[in-house]
Structures are given as C-alpha cells and as structure tokens.
Amino acid sequence: MTIGKSRSIAFLGTGLMGAPMARMLLQSGFAVTVWNRNREKAEGLVPDGAVLADTPAAAVKGASVVFTMLTDGKAVEDVLFTQGAAEALDAGAVVIDSSSITPDAARQHASKLAGRGIRHLDAPVSGGVLGAAAGTLAIMAGGDGALVEELADVFAPLGRVTHVGPSGCGQLAKLGNQQIVAITIGAVAEAMLLFEAGGGSREAFRRAIRGGFAESRILDVHGQRMVNRDFGTAGPSKLQLKDLNNIVATAEGLALTLPLTEAVRAEFAEFVEHGGGETDHSGLLLQLEEKNRRSSKG
C-alpha cells in the first residue's frame, strides 16, 4: 500500500485523549473512521465528519494509518490481535500506537505486525487533554526514523513529533516523562503543604516562585489546580499509577533502583486504593494532606 495524501485514517480509542486527537485530524482534512469500546464516546466525533465503525476490524478496513489510544498493553493486544484489527489491515499499512504501555509490549506488537507486512510506531504523547485539543502534544516516536518523517503530515496537526530511537523507545521516553510528571506533582504538593502549614497562602507561594528555577508546566497547570482545589478528572490518578507501575517493572528488568519513583508510586497507590483513582493526578495533594492528618492524630 502506498501512503500518500489520499491516505485514510482509523482511530481506535476516542476517550479523553483520543477524541481531541481524532478531531484535530478531521479538522486538518483527513478522512477518519473512529471506534471506541463505549460507542457514545465515538459518536461525538460524527458531527466533525468522522465515520463511525461498529468494530475495530471494520474501522481499519482500507485504512493506511491506524492510531490506537487505549488504556494499556492488554487493551492494545486485544483490539489488534483478538478483535481482528491487524488481520483486517492491508499489507503496508502503519499502526501508530499512542497508548502508554510497556516498551516490551510495544516491541512485541511491532514484531507481530511486521509478520503481517504492517509497519508500527510506538508514539505515546504528553501534554494532556489541553494539549490534545490545541494540537500541541509532545509526541515521542519509537521505530523507523524514515517512517516518522514519511508521516510528518499526519503528526503535524497533533503536535511536535520527535524520533527517539528504535521500537520501544517511544514508550521508554513516555515512562521517563511520567516519572518527571509524578515526582514533580509530589514535590509541588509537598511544598504547598509545608508553606501553608507555616502560615502562608498556597496561591501566594505559587505566584512567588513562578519564573524561578522551580518553574514548570506542572507548577503552572497542576499547581493552579491545587490552589483552586479543583482537581477534575483530566489525568486520572489510576492511569498515573499504571505508568508508575510500568516504570518500576521496566527499571527492575534493567537492574535499576529508582527510589524517588518508588516513593511517589507508593503515595499514588494509596490514593487510588482509597478512592482517588478517577481524580486528576494533581489530587495527590489530597493524599498527602490526609496522610499528615492521620500522622498528627497518632
């Protein structure tokens, strides 16, 4: 199959991140067929011009490029190889997996697809729902660098793509990104706790350190959520925990010890266990506040 300007795209997984990404592709003039396990989430893209499919296999039929944006590696494996998407694809098609999964799983999927003559990139993203809606995602692509360049027009509406290495390296980069995000969220939350406990205002503290060495996107967006105590569900903590679990498992396979990552993972695990799974990961502040309340009572 020749990939050209007439390419058609299938998008499998139109949840919090997938829906705005698919919408950006539609607004850029691509023909996009969508599928989601919860049909209603895919139906919302029909007014934007998407074609709705009943099954993953039906969605990818005739597509030259397929995006997957699914919960985890098991979901990707199921959609591609159990529900028949890979079998329905023509040789020469490309699967771009933007899900956050383990590097090993990404390599296994690439190998299985290659056996069918289908090319694969693991290309997870960072930037959250806001970045997906604005087309400003950071896209970390693992696989063939020439293929990344070949698909530049597909990536352009979504954000900035960087080829980071061979198959699996996209997922490694995303794990590193999630390490930094989780640890920084924890650092901002603890600093706010410290400042407020000493009699200061979280809002004033955040304003005071903006522009200094502690400045970050986390301080900007997630710090504001902590100030407002308006956490929402944009980046569910259960997914942050999933990524942290994958990071620790990958590190163990590489004989690495990551003490900061393990510490923040323990806090997210406790937060999720006590009902915070759907709360945005900036809600880790709630976990740390509760932990300090329990400590003071003890």
Active site residues: 174
Sign of CA dihedral 178, 179, 180, 185: positive
Secondary structure letter of residue 273 according to DSSP: I
First to last CA, the chain: 67
Whole-number Å distance between alpha carbons of 274 and 268: 10
Contact 65, 2 (CB under 8 A): no
Closest-CA residue to 37 (of 96, 3, 85): 85
Question: Alpha-carbon distance 109 to 114, whole Å?
Answer: 8
